[in-house]
Amino acid sequence: MHEKPILQVRNLRKQFGTGCKDCSELMNRNLEKNFCKSCGTVYACQDISFDLYPGEILGIVGESGSGKSTMMQCLYFDADVTSGEAYISDSILAGQNVFGLSSQQKRSIRNHVYGMVYQNPVHGLKMNFSSVGNIAEKLIAAGNRNVANMEATSKKLLNNVHIPLHRMKEEPRNFSGGMQQRVQIAKALSNNPPILFLDEVTTGLDLSVQANVLDLIKKIQRDLGISMIVVSHDLGVIRMLADRTIVLLNGKVIEEGLTDQVLEDPQHEYTQQLVYSLL
Amino acid sequence: MTMLEIKDFGKRFTIHHLEKTMPAIEHINFSLEAGEFIGIVGKSGSGKSTILKSIYRSYLPDTGNILYNSARFGQVDLATISERKMLYLRQYEIGYVSQFLNVMPRTTCRQLVINALLEMGESEEVALKESGEALTHFEMDPKLWDSYPNTFSGGEKLRLNIAMATVKNPRLLLLDEPTASLDQQSKVKVREMIEKLKNKGTTLVGIFHDIEFMEGLCDKVYDIQSRQQTVVKETITYES
């Protein structure tokens, strides 16, 4: 089995601040967690590398401030990386570091290759557009022009995420948090992205809605074979969804493995503490 | 054909907050031919589950080799195989069954079995049909098919787990104390299920604290205390 990763990330670094002589060397940084006390630079992501394979769900866990969301923002080009490389296995993009592309090319990747579901639906949806309009926006960005087709696709997607079609013309701001999240998922899926990023998508949802969203994500993986990166601080969510898991601490990968192995036989001290804290 | 061969296997646990490394098990050797059933026996805490979980890679093996003869990859060492290959083997070749259910919330018994089939790429119709057959085969009461397994008894959870694992037709099935905390009647059912699996040609590794119950069913017994592997059928001929 010589499968190729669909996304390869190498040495992703993101720092906020310029750095100083105490913190510029990666190997012997004098940091308090991820913070340099001399110059105030925050090292949010320090040399994160991983592979994402076709059809798999990769879990990213870590406490608040471990760099999970910053990493996702960098991958989705919401934030620029300080340094690092990412390669997408795609006939056009093969061999090119996507972080180094022009903003136009990055937008094209977002429109055709990536889908993103943010923790807060405000970031992923236009709250004063209708739900169906939100999906159409993404479809238009991906090059669709046929209104009838777009409406049919939107209906199918909203139906898949259990949004009643008689409410599809409503603005998402009228919806509950769980419904907004599901509209956001429908929107993210509308361009059939081979890669989907999910950032704390179930955080703040009640258990019943959480179960719906988890079921939906698993179904998307099964039916569409989309590769996903799921960021969560909730180990239960990661256990249900992820095949493999990466543990982040202070912006570094401290452990990675099969999800059940990370949870049942954690190797790193921090992961052990994390697992012992599990309810 | 040798399906599984464990060579000088050992596993330690490093517990950081105690600053200690505890050896769980050392110098384990046994082997298993295709279609055989080996029972691993030993006291509580002797490391039976550690062996099984290491074969399934829920635990990260430390020393030794776990050689498995894969239909897809040929002979591989499960102690060092890549994570992606291990996931493939779990999906298509190696099953793991315990009394503990760890499944998607709010999913019915039948849907869980269907999902196991869909994951393997079966169509919806085939999955629906085969899930019903599997649940019937393992004597799951049809009244329970459309309920959520949270309230199932230990025996019912076990049978659901076996159904989920066996619809995938695994070549190697790992049974983690399948009879623990079951009453005599349920144990008999488990025994019958294992017999059915064996007749289908599945290679089985089971751990038990009471091996008497499996008498006549195990081809081999591995005793952790004595580190001895005995071939059961031959022992019987010696005695008679």
Phi and psi dihedrals of A37, rounded to 5? -75, -20
* Alpha-carbon span B227 to A273, nearest angstrom: 34
The CATH code of the domain at B31-239 is 3.40.50.300
Is residue A84 predicted with pLDDT exceeding 80?
A: yes
* Alpha-carbon span B60 to B63, nearest angstrom: 10
Residues of chain A neighbouring B88 (CB-CB closer than 8 A) = 1
Integer CA distances (angstroms), B39 to A106, A167, A255, B80, B234, in order: 57, 59, 34, 24, 15
pLDDT digits (tens, 9 = 90+) for B55-93: 999 999 999 999 999 999 999 999 999 999 999 999 999
Q: How far is B20 from chain A (nearest CA, A)?
A: 12
Q: How far is A28 from chain B (nearest CA, A)?
A: 23
Selection from B193, B238, B239, B190 nearest residue B210 by Cα: B190
pLDDT digits (tens, 9 = 90+) for A33-45: 999 988 999 999 9
Question: What's A2-42 look like in SS3?
Answer: CCCCCEEEEEEEEEECCCCCCCCCCCCCCEECCEECCCCCE
pLDDT digits (tens, 9 = 90+) for B116-146: 999 888 999 999 999 999 999 888 899 999 9
pLDDT digits (tens, 9 = 90+) for A155-171: 999 988 889 999 999 99
Q: Is A261 on the interface with B (CB under 8 A)?
A: yes
Please name the residues between 96 and 125 in chain A that touch chain B, using a CB distance below 8 Å: none
Which residue of chain B is at minimal alpha-carbon distance from A260? Answer: B58
Interface probe with A: pick from B58, B78, B107, most Cβ of A within 10 Å: B58
For chain B, 240 residues long, give each residue's pLDDT as a single digit of tens. 899 999 999 999 999 999 999 999 999 999 999 999 999 998 888 899 999 999 999 999 999 999 999 999 999 999 999 999 999 999 999 999 988 888 888 899 999 999 999 988 899 999 999 999 999 988 889 999 999 999 998 888 988 998 999 999 999 999 998 887 778 887 888 888 888 889 989 999 999 877 777 788 889 999 998 888 888 754 444 443
Which residue of chain A is at minimal alpha-carbon distance from B58? Answer: A261
Query: Phi-psi region for residue A154, left (φ > 0), alpha (ψ -120 to 50) or beta?
Result: alpha
Q: How far is B180 from chain A (nearest CA, A)?
A: 21
CB-side neighbour CA atoms (13 Å) of A129? 15
Q: Hey, is A148 helix, strand or coil?
A: helix
Token pair for residue A160? 């898949």
Identify the helix (H) or strand (E) that includes residue B49: helix B48-56
Residues of chain B neighbouring A211 (CB-CB closer than 8 A) = 104-106
Cβ(B158)–Cβ(B99) below 8 Å: yes
Token pair for residue A269? 């001290």
Check A269 against B104: CB less than 8 A apart: no
Taking only Cα atoms into account, the Rg of chain A, rounded to an integer number of angstroms, comes to: 19
ipTM of the complex: 0.90
Which residue of chain B is at minimal alpha-carbon distance from A237? Answer: B104
* Alpha-carbon span A234 to B28, nearest angstrom: 36
Residues of chain A neighbouring B83 (CB-CB closer than 8 A) = 244, 257-258
Query: Phi-psi region for residue A163, left (φ > 0), alpha (ψ -120 to 50) or beta?
Result: beta
